[in-house]
Amino acid sequence: MSKRSNLIQIIIFIAFIATFLVILIALPDKSFSQKENRVLQTNPQFSFSALFGGDYTSHFETYITDQFPMRDTWVVLKAGSETAVGKQENNGIYLCKDGILIEPYTAPQSSKLDSRLGAINSFAMSQEIPVYFALIPSAAELWRDVLPTNAPNDSQKEIIDYTYSLSDCINIDVYTVLENHTSEYIYFHTDHHWTALGAYYGYTAIMDAMGLDYSDLSSYTPKVVSDSFYGTAHSSSGYCWVDPDRLETYVPAGSETVINYASGSAQESKIYDKAFLEVKDKYSYFFGGNTPLIQITTENADAPSLLIIRDSYMDALSPFLLENFSAIHIIDLRYYKLSLAEYITENEIDSALICYSVKNFAKDDNIFLISR
């Protein structure tokens, strides 16, 4: 090798590693990543106690990874090169037909389901009001035809059937109605949630189970609020080249009053939060994202009241319920830590609905708080 080539190689290498060091030092730290939807580690404070406790070094390492320049570009480069060598998945997301991104489902151990059933059953038995229970399958189940050939993906139907067979609640069959509409835009292509349309079908199943009337789909006028929605599956996979999703609403915001406890205290709010259309996490347009408690009062004062214990799938569905209830209380057990029994008595709730996606039902341990 000639001296010149060797020199060039040294310059390339040193420039490469030193440039990033300089950029890292020169650029101000970012405190939040929209793309990953999480708080980033900033330069940790040095102290000897942190050093010898091991915190300092581990935080510093996270700091380097989190603040690395052009983070998103590197992730996309990796996704691209994985695809180039024939991989059909990246970071746990399948790249499916037509650029649909789907997270496969992995069945939990049945003991995990049993313990959760114990919790919701004891809640249902202790309540005088009817307790409804709905498990929502994800795209991995109903759109399994678009998954890469032979790709591993466990059945969510089996989980639903198993869980329902042991549940003491009034089970709601969301599965069948969704199954009848798989050719429609019921799930986002780049996000793990269902669309407002999918949520509408879920809503009809709930109404059927409760014996309530609902409006026909044709009576709604869908409104596209964003056509550039890239969801969670898009962020974590790095498959940046797929088409964005369309975020639609079917129910217009009306005269209902919405009290949201997102900040811990009661705050007047809306069923849709426009601020989220400007950021990455557009699904939070529905109700403004994660919150312990939302209380909605509608003009239908004669209608019954409903308590919903739920995960984020409910955000897209809840607007449909406005015409059927006088008051809707939406509780997220991840953030709401008070007694549900007391809440039900105090607020004179007429019926309760436990509604989870199949995956979250087995994953979220906060569900055990239900019988508190």
Partner 1 sequence: MLFSSLLFIFIYLPIVLLIYYIVPMKWRNLFLFIINLVFYGWGEPVYIVLMLFSIALNYFCGLLVHKHLNNKRKAKRVLIICIIANLALLGFFKYYDLFAQTLSLIPGVSIASLSLSLPIGISFYTFQTMSYPIDVYRGDAQATRSFIDFGTFVALFPQLIAGPIVRYKDIADQLKIRIHDVDKFASGIRRFIIGLGKKVLIANNIGMLWGIYSSSAELSLLGSWLGIIAFSMQIYFDFSGYSDMAIGLGRMLGFEFLENFNYPYISKSITEFWRRWHMSLGTWFRDYLYIPLGGNRHGIGRQVFNIFAVWALTGFWHGASWNFLFWGIYYGLFLTIEKLFLLKKLNRAPSAIAHIYSLLVVICGWVLFSVDNVSLAGEYYKAMFGFGSGGLISTTDLYYLKNYAVMLIVGAAACLPVSKKLYNRLSSKVQGVLSPVLITVVLIFSTAYLVDSSYNPFLYFRF
Q: Give the interface with partner 1 as residue ranges (CB under 8 A).
A: 1-10, 12-14, 16-18, 20-21, 24, 51-52, 54, 57, 60-61, 64-65, 68, 71, 74-75, 77-79, 81, 85-89, 91, 148-152, 238
Q: Cβ 358 to partner 1, closest distance in Å?
A: 20
Residues in the chain: 372
Instruction: In angstroms, give the least distance from the CB of 11 to partner 1.
Output: 9
**154 vs 173 by CB, closer to partner 1:** 154
To the nearest whole angstrom, how small is the minimum distance from the Cβ of residue 337 to partner 1?
30
Backbone φ, ψ for residue 17 (5° rounding): -75, -30
Shortest distance (Å) from residue 88 CB to partner 1: 6
Nearer to partner 1, 105 or 276 (CB): 105
Helix, strand, coil shares of the chain, percent, nearest 5, are 45, 20, 40
User: 130 or 148, CB closer to partner 1?
Assistant: 148
Least distance in angstroms from the C-beta of 57 to partner 1: 5
Query: In the complex with partner 1, which residue's Cβ is closer, 18 or 27?
Result: 18
What is the 8-class DSSP label of residue 212?
Answer: -
The side-by-side arrangement of strands in the sheet containing 131-136 is 170-172, 131-136, 351-357, 305-310, 327-331, 293-297, 257-260, 267-269
- Give the integer Cα–Cα distance in Å for 60 and 42: 8
Alpha carbon distance 349, 9 (integer Å):
72
**Is 62 or 326 the residue whose CB approaches partner 1 more closely?**
62
> What is the DSSP pairing of strand 131-136 with strand 170-172?
parallel
Q: Which is nearer to partner 1, 75 or 367 (CB)?
A: 75
Annotate 311-349 with b (16+ C-beta within 10 A) or e (fewer).
bbbbbbbbbbbbbbbbbbbbbbbbebeeebeebbeeeeb
Give the nearest distance from C-beta 343 to partner 1 in angstroms: 39
Q: How far is the CB of 36 from partner 1 (least distance, A)?
A: 12
Helices (H), the chain: 3-26, 48-53, 55-66, 71-84, 110-126, 139-142, 156-166, 174-179, 196-210, 232-237, 313-321, 340-346, 358-363
Nearest to 250 by CA among 287, 283, 225: 225
Q: Is 72 exposed, middle or buried (0-12, 13-18, 19+ CB in 10 A)?
A: middle
Widest CA span in the chain: 89
In the complex, what is the shortest distance from the CB of residue 180 to partner 1, in angstroms, rounded to a whole number? Answer: 27
Cα–Cα distance between 291 and 32 in angstroms, integer? 19
CB of 96 to partner 1, least distance (A): 13
Minimum CB distance to partner 1 smaller for 58 or for 228: 58
CB nearer to partner 1: pick between 48 and 98: 48
The string of DSSP letters for 323-335 reads TT-SEEEEE-TTT
Radius of gyration of the chain (CA): 24
Judged by beta carbon, residue 3 or residue 213, the one nearer partner 1 is 3
